[in-house]
Structure 1
Amino acid sequence: MPLILFNKPFQVLCQFSPQEGRESLADYLAIPNIYPAGRLDADSEGLMLLTDDGKLQHKIAHPDHKEAKTYLVQVDGVVDAAALARLQAPLDLGDFVTKPCKAVQIAEPAWLWPRNPPIRARADKPTSWIAITLEEGKNRQVRRMTAAVGLPTLRLMRSSIGAFSLATHPLMPGEFVEVEAEALRVGG
């Protein structure tokens, strides 16, 4: 089966089993026997990969295969060179030290959909956008990284996984498309 690219909406759970009062993947994907290859927190949005191939799912999600993942992050505050340097270097988060990564300040993406509910806007408190590319993915890692450098995350959206990107596969939240898995870098 081809791989499923899915744009997970904000507050949707990364599971198919229902939870009262919460939307899950089952509310968007009526494809039998597929499973997510990696997760996003309910308060994160963006690109997910799903497949019915257990070996492929493991390869995509396993850290040894190092599929780069890029996150677009709206942070509370103004990004400066020192914060970017700290994000890029190994960063001690208490229970682990991050691997070096790529972090660059960006303009708010023109193609980005509005979030529902919207991010609060305060005239006296500016926000900034950062693109962070990781080859690891610990629980709430990006949020913890930005907080550690004094820039709390307001909005977090995964824009790409390996060769797959919402820039080249434009999907609105809740939409999905099937693609061929051969574009993934993971080995046999």
Structure 2
Amino acid sequence: METFKTNHRHFIIYKPYGYLSQFYSNSKQQKSKNFLGELHDFPEGIMAIGRLDEKSEGLLLLTTDGKMSDFVNSQKVEKEYYAQVDGAISEDAIKQLKTGVEIGFEGRKYKTKPCKAFKLEVIPDLPLRKQKIRDDRHGPTSWVSVTLNEGKFRQVRKMTSAVGFPTLRLVRVRVGKTVTGNMKTGDVVEVQDFCVRD
């Protein structure tokens, strides 16, 4: 079991929709944006381990330990996402997600690595999102779990689009053995250590 316990400080947060995975901005163009620093008085040197894009929600690990950040960002640690997709996702689409699909990354075509994916038969019990998701009057939606060891920019969104089911809502629910559990949007929990790998 890979556990990190140091004199560094570690936090688990539930990133809200509409927040950037950074703490402040020097850019005038981003003055109207929301940043993680608004959620808590974090210590100097804090960094997000990986990122969630502005429209994505859920589990984000923060640390002052660069070595631990590098380890979690490596391909040794699983990250699980729940994606609400447009349409009733097919078994064929799930199979494609599992085996790998071609997406765009840094201006090139990239074949994603095999991953775990399955349809969620029950709508997951997640915190309500402030911005409304379109309802079923505009057609059916479905939920899928996708677990990756890699983490290219907007990867899950690109993967579901590649198989014909664009993502409407994306929530990261697990990193290694760390889960959101009963956390609510915007929650910040300081922890003594992270357990991220068996």
- The correspondence of residues 13-162 of structure 1 with structure 2, limited to 5 A, is 13-18=20-25, 19-33=30-44, 34-63=46-75, 66-94=76-104, 95-106=109-120, 107-110=122-125, 112-162=126-176
Relative to the length of structure 1, the TM-score reads 0.91
- Counterpart CA distance in 2 for 1:80 and 1:120 is 20
- Counterpart CA distance in 2 for 1:37 and 1:182 is 12
Query: Any stretches of 5+ residues in structure 2 without a counterpart?
Result: 1-7
SS for the counterpart of 1:183 is: strand
SS for the counterpart of 2:197 is: coil
- Counterpart CA distance in 2 for 1:76 and 1:105 is 13
Instruction: Name the amino acid aligned to 1:7.
Output: Y
Instruction: Name the amino acid aligned to 2:84.
Output: Q
Q: Report Cα offsets for 1:129-160 as digits up to 9, x if no partner.
A: 00100110000110000001100000000000
- Counterpart CA distance in 2 for 1:60 and 1:31 is 20
Relative to the length of structure 2, the TM-score reads 0.87
- Counterpart CA distance in 1 for 2:194 and 2:60 is 17
Contact 2:56–2:171 (CA<8 Å) still a contact in 1? yes
User: Measured at CA, do residues 139 and 164 of structure 1 come closer, stay the same or move farther in structure 2, by a change above 3 Å?
Assistant: same
Whether 2:17 is the aligned partner of 1:3: answer: no
- Counterpart CA distance in 1 for 2:196 and 2:134 is 37
SS for the counterpart of 2:32 is: coil
Contact 2:9–2:65 (CA<8 Å) still a contact in 1? no
Aligned-pair distance for 1:124?
4.3
SS for the counterpart of 1:87 is: helix
Aligned CA-pair RMSD:
1.5
Query: Any stretches of 5+ residues in structure 1 without a counterpart?
Result: none
